[in-house]
Structure 1
């Protein structure tokens, strides 16, 4: 198999680097300054074992590859808000021997949230969900860092919407050889909904700084409580915190390179790079959507989604809002919700 990593940022770059390190054929897809840096100097992957530079093929779009190969695996690691554009670009590409990527090739969705698989299934026949637990950072062009040890991360994989097959098992085996735990599960979306609940903290972390302190943690717990209520109303099962913890066990530890605390997560990194977009619509916004569909109020997640989007749109600095200010915005959203309920 050849792995085409569409989105060679924190997750894609780490997975691509680890696969290349274990001898697999890898092509990276990147944009802008990151593309230029990788093309000129290779992809630097820093782990607890040290730093390696991988001189890998890197492209900006599929036309640079020509026909795709019948043994290609498309590993989609762009943020969910960028999924549709990426899939439209890749889905119609011809595959050697006839047919298109959307008709023939396996596509692995390695994003937070639960929407990318639905977006993909409109365009691709063979879609695989992947629940990503991989503490990695990408804030500098040409470089990614991952501090998990002795395994770099855990990537549950399965067919979407459910089931397993030989392709999932083959991908899992390649990842396991590359210091990435990759359990094959028939209920991958159950794992992704569990991760969605955890990712409701991303907006808090992105706008106020690394998630810590009693007030910030309590705010996340309120957002999660809304999420759990919404999933219960929708009849959606999600893996619980204890089951996730037991799955990882002591097989993945966070080992910082210089004694520092872990940096911010994916939403914080988006703000730090000034991308102008953030994934909040598909995290807190997913809970808001389900809440509206099933009659469950979600004022905390509504407020977090709105604030995170404003930060991204205005390119405000990550972590620049005091927790007290964010709590005040959430309180106003709750008051508005209460007024609307009294009127109705």
Structure 2
């Protein structure tokens, strides 16, 4: 099985690095500067699960190094259009696309370009970041991906092979029998956390210290749950107990990565992670007052950023 991973950034670099370390045939599709760095320094991972530095295969074009069986997408949602164009030459008839993006909207775009039968469902739960020097920093105790057939049928052969490779690599997760539910479960958590952390500019623990913080957090997660339920993917009370427990853990220092991006003045996945949840809520006639407020806040941030106004006093 040959795997092409778009990018060698935080998530793609970590997952691909662990797969490569365990003997999997992995190639990274990267930009010229990143390939030069990889050729010079190798792929460097600093991790709670062990550091590695290794030489890896890197190409600049999707036509190189194939044919591939798996094309793994680990880009940010706002880069999806360019990512699709980049990997398109590698999506040959035998290839399966496995996106590890948040939310659901990217699946429509991928289906439209490649056909739904070629696109599996997938997601990542990996706490990683990139250092200024290009090293991948994995400081959390968890690193997992899950993937599977979106229609519930038995997994195709290459996904079974990918599952075996993931397990051999030491990355948690693998095949998931109901990947669509897993996508919604993560999106409920992510949308709530990203909305509240960005709106209130703090960690989940900071929010809970506010007089109405816990109530607002629980209201917001319920808004997201109602949208999931309308789509036929209610996590159920057992699933929601786990979500609420995580979001209401006193003293937690956990924050959505979107907050870190916002605080750096970077681009954020506002439309994909929050805006699309609101759009689906409107179609189902579900009120989302907390999400709407958070989304408006993010839209203002993006508008100011586009004008070059971030870091300057509002006039």
Q: TM-score, normalised by structure 1?
A: 0.73
For structure 1, the residue ranges without an aligned partner over 5 or more in a row are 96-100, 247-260, 321-344
Deviates more, 1:297-306 or 1:234-243: 234-243
Structure 2 residue aligned with 1:288: 278
Q: CA deviation at 1:245?
A: 9.0
Structure 2 residue aligned with 1:11: 11
Relative to structure 1, the CA distance from residue 197 to residue 314 in structure 2 (aligned partners, 3 Å threshold; closer, same or farther) is same
On the 8 A contact 2:205/2:254 being kept in 1, the answer is no
> What does 1:323-334 align with in structure 2 at a 5 Å threshold?
none
Q: CA deviation at 1:179?
A: 0.9
SS of 1:160's equivalent? coil
Matched, 1:134 2:118: no
Structure 2 residue aligned with 1:53: 53
> What does 1:137-286 align with in structure 2 at a 5 Å threshold?
137-149=129-141, 152-163=142-153, 164-200=155-191, 201-206=193-198, 208-213=201-206, 214=208, 215=210, 217-232=214-229, 234-239=230-235, 242-243=238-239, 264-271=255-262, 274-275=265-266, 277-286=267-276
> What does 1:82-161 align with in structure 2 at a 5 Å threshold?
82-91=79-88, 93=89, 101=91, 103-125=93-115, 126-149=118-141, 152-161=142-151
Q: CA deviation at 1:145?
A: 1.9
Relative to structure 1, the CA distance from residue 41 to residue 241 in structure 2 (aligned partners, 3 Å threshold; closer, same or farther) is farther
On the 8 A contact 1:206/1:264 being kept in 2, the answer is no
On the 8 A contact 2:147/2:174 being kept in 1, the answer is yes
On the 8 A contact 1:43/1:55 being kept in 2, the answer is yes
Structure 2 residue aligned with 1:68: 66
Relative to structure 1, the CA distance from residue 35 to residue 289 in structure 2 (aligned partners, 3 Å threshold; closer, same or farther) is farther
Q: CA deviation at 1:199?
A: 0.3
State the distance in 1 between where 2:59 and 2:105 align: 26
Relative to structure 1, the CA distance from residue 185 to residue 263 in structure 2 (aligned partners, 3 Å threshold; closer, same or farther) is closer
Q: CA deviation at 1:113?
A: 0.6
Relative to structure 1, the CA distance from residue 298 to residue 122 in structure 2 (aligned partners, 3 Å threshold; closer, same or farther) is same
Q: TM-score, normalised by structure 2?
A: 0.80
On the 8 A contact 2:226/2:234 being kept in 1, the answer is no
CA deviation vs aligned residue, 1:310-330 (integer Å, no higher than 9, x gap): 4345449xxx9xxxxxxxxxx
Q: CA deviation at 1:225?
A: 1.3
Relative to structure 1, the CA distance from residue 197 to residue 90 in structure 2 (aligned partners, 3 Å threshold; closer, same or farther) is same
On the 8 A contact 1:278/1:309 being kept in 2, the answer is no
Q: CA deviation at 1:174?
A: 0.3
Q: CA deviation at 1:119?
A: 1.5
Q: CA deviation at 1:204?
A: 3.0
CA deviation vs aligned residue, 1:225-245 (integer Å, no higher than 9, x gap): 11112233x242143585499
State the distance in 2 between where 1:239 and 1:8 align: 33
SS of 2:287's equivalent? coil
Q: CA deviation at 1:39?
A: 4.2
State the distance in 2 between where 1:26 and 1:223 align: 40
Q: CA deviation at 1:112?
A: 1.0
Over the aligned positions, Cα root-mean-square deviation in angstroms equals 2.9
Relative to structure 1, the CA distance from residue 38 to residue 212 in structure 2 (aligned partners, 3 Å threshold; closer, same or farther) is farther
